A and B are shown apart, each in its own frame.
Chain A
């Protein structure tokens, strides 16, 4: 079996649809370790990628006015127990373009793996980008995931990202996102993570509302159990008139796990408004009792609640 077939098999086993590789109307970019296995573009989308000494370097452009009808699938993985993957991405959506990128990060046998993503994203005027990243990890926890993104959104631009890691062990995760929103720009950063054993989760997300009437939301949902740790830092700055920002963090803690939430809100313009809410603790008692009154055991009820917040 070729490496591409093996990766797509693992992708299929983790719930993905491997037929995306054969559909000519769907763009894709598949990387295993530091090897580019498959790449396909569609009209209006330019992908230039190369294997370098230190990893993969990719430049992705969506041309002006182009609205991609189908999501662009990015598949990153390492099927071996050990390895490194470093991906440098430069993404640009030109004026009035729109695209949805779906990233599948697959590390089913990870025992000693390091996955680094370093992205620079530039959203043009009136452009819209959605980025959904879902991780599929194995049960060993020997993985380090370090995604970093610096995003700049121009006037009326929109940027939505959704990071999900609820299958398998998290390992060591260190997210570092920074988004700068211009006039009337909108951004939402969502992360959903379930940590087990001695998983170590660190998230730092920053939204700088620089333009008038810019809007930002940081929404984090984390459940941790056993001896896992999570430290969530959500930073929002309202630096222009009419800017509106909100930081919303919820962490459910079980067993001996330890959670920390650090919402940081700053306002430098009297016409801006930034709010935050953080809830950390065990499962809400009233939610638990309501589900138990429906006949669910305490274990089933906790499972429903945790799956709900991570959905």
Chain B
């Protein structure tokens, strides 16, 4: 039984189908990369899985460990072990990094998680999770907070955006920690080189999966810009 099973999910915004009869299965401990250009529905999929407000699907079903989660609220899904790192994590006044990393985690080992995302604990534990952090620093702290939760499924929405290219290895290291901890990951990315770390990959276009399987093959397909669904209209522009 897959850990996450999405069956024929359709989500519309106005009269536009953002997810169109979308189906996907992720096994326990699997890292699944989801490639796609802007506007193909990748982030929307993450919001729908997480149960964010305004992202209730029109039809279809999401199963987690074989049970439907369609009616569960975000925190109830989180308590089952699903969590998410937003593409642009929000800032918080008056909450320091140490407290942010221990909001709900059972252990108090914030320093270790900061090191895992390439941040020096002595420089960051006392910092506020507010506007004083750069975009890249905030994203790393969000990843550290997700690691600290030991989720069963982490939805990572473009963890590599906003972080300089030299730090791609840091992102790969983080994904490896999730793998080592037995977490499944839905890794949303534009960058095929990041997707290569996954066990499986899929390419999305116009709310559907157009190619799925071995990450190398999917990355090649993605790079070729020969999407049959949009005939290059969407996927040619990266």
List residues of A whose CB falls within 8 A of some B CB: 221, 250, 284-287, 289-298, 301, 304-305, 307-311
Which stretch (B4-12, B58-66, B70-78, B220-228) binds chain A? B70-78
Which of B29-37, B92-100, B180-188, B190-198 is the contact stretch?
Answer: B92-100
Q: Given contacts A289-B52, A289-B53, A310-B94, is CB(A294)–CB(B86) below 8 Å?
A: no
Q: Which residues of A contact B89 (CB under 8 A)?
A: 290
Q: A294-B103, A295-B75, A295-B103 are in contact. List 11 more A-B contacts (CB 8 A).
A: A284-B90, A287-B92, A292-B73, A292-B75, A292-B78, A294-B104, A295-B104, A296-B104, A301-B75, A309-B94, A311-B94
B169 at the binding interface (Cβ < 8 Å): no
**Interface, chain B (partner A; CB < 8 A):** 50, 52-53, 73-75, 78-79, 83-84, 86, 89-90, 92-95, 103-104, 145, 149
Closest to B80 in A: A295
Evaluate contact between A305 and B78: CB separation under 8 angstroms. Answer: no
User: Could you tell me the distance between the alpha carbons of A311 and B130 in the complex, rounded to whole angstroms?
Assistant: 13
Distance in angstroms between the alpha carbons of A291 and B99 in the assembled complex = 12
A290 touches B86 (CB 8 A): yes
Contact B103 A291 (CB under 8 A): yes
Query: When the two chains form their complex, are residues B149 and A294 in contact, meaning their CB atoms are under 8 A apart?
Result: yes
Known contacts A286-B90, A308-B93, A308-B95; A295/B52 CB under 8 A: no
Residues on B with C-beta less than 8 A from A307 are: 94
Tell whether, in the assembled complex, residue B53 and residue A295 are in contact, meaning their CB atoms are under 8 Å apart. Answer: no
Q: List 8 A-B contacts (CB under 8 A).
A: A291-B103, A292-B75, A293-B74, A294-B78, A295-B149, A298-B75, A304-B103, A311-B93
A307 to B83, CA, bound (A): 23
Q: In the bound complex, do residue B93 and residue A309 qualify as a contact, i.e. CB atoms below 8 Å apart? A: yes
- CA A287 to CA B94, docked complex, whole Å: 13
The 7 closest A-B pairs by CB, nearest first: A311-B94, A308-B94, A292-B74, A295-B104, A292-B75, A295-B78, A286-B90
A294 touches B145 (CB 8 A): yes
Q: How distant is A40 from chain B, measured CB to nearest CB, in Å? A: 34
CB distance from B157 to the nearest CB of A (A): 11
Which residues of the partner chain B approach A287 to less than 8 Å between Cβ atoms? 90, 92
Contact present for B79 and A295 (CB under 8 Å): yes
Q: A284-B90, A294-B104 are in contact. Are A289 and B74 (CB under 8 A)?
A: yes
**Chain A residues with CB under 8 A of B79:** 295
A301 to B103, CA, bound (A): 10
Contact present for B75 and A286 (CB under 8 Å)? no
Q: Which residues of B contact A291 (CB under 8 A)?
A: 103
Contact B93 A293 (CB under 8 A): no
With A and B bound together, what is the CA distance between A33 and B153 in angstroms?
A: 60
**A293-B74, A295-B79 are known contacts. Are A305 and B92 too (CB-CB below 8 A)?**
yes
Residue on B nearest A310 in the bound complex, by CB: B94
Task: Determine the chain A residues whose CB is within 8 A of the CB of B92 once the complex forms.
Answer: 287, 304-305, 308
Inter-subunit contact B93/A297 (CB<8 Å): no
B127 CB to nearest chain A CB (Å): 14
Shortest distance between the CB of A4 and any CB in chain B (Å): 35
Residues of B within 8 A of A295 (CB): 75, 78-79, 83, 103-104, 149
Minimal beta-carbon separation of B12 from chain A (angstroms) = 21
Given contacts A285-B53, A308-B95, contact A296 B103 (CB under 8 A): yes
A304 close to B90 (CB less than 8 A): no
Bound state CA distance, A229 and B10, in angstroms?
A: 44
Q: How far is the CA of A289 from the CA of B52 in the complex (A)?
A: 7
Give complex CA distance A304, B94 in Å.
9
A62, B104: Cα distance in complex, Å: 47
Q: Which residue of B lies closest to A305 (CB)?
A: B92
A290 CB contacts on chain B under 8 angstroms:
86, 89-90
**B77 to A, closest residue via Cβ:** A293
- CB of B94 within 8 A of CB of A293, answer no
Q: In the bound complex, do residue B83 and residue A293 qualify as a contact, i.e. CB atoms below 8 Å apart?
A: yes
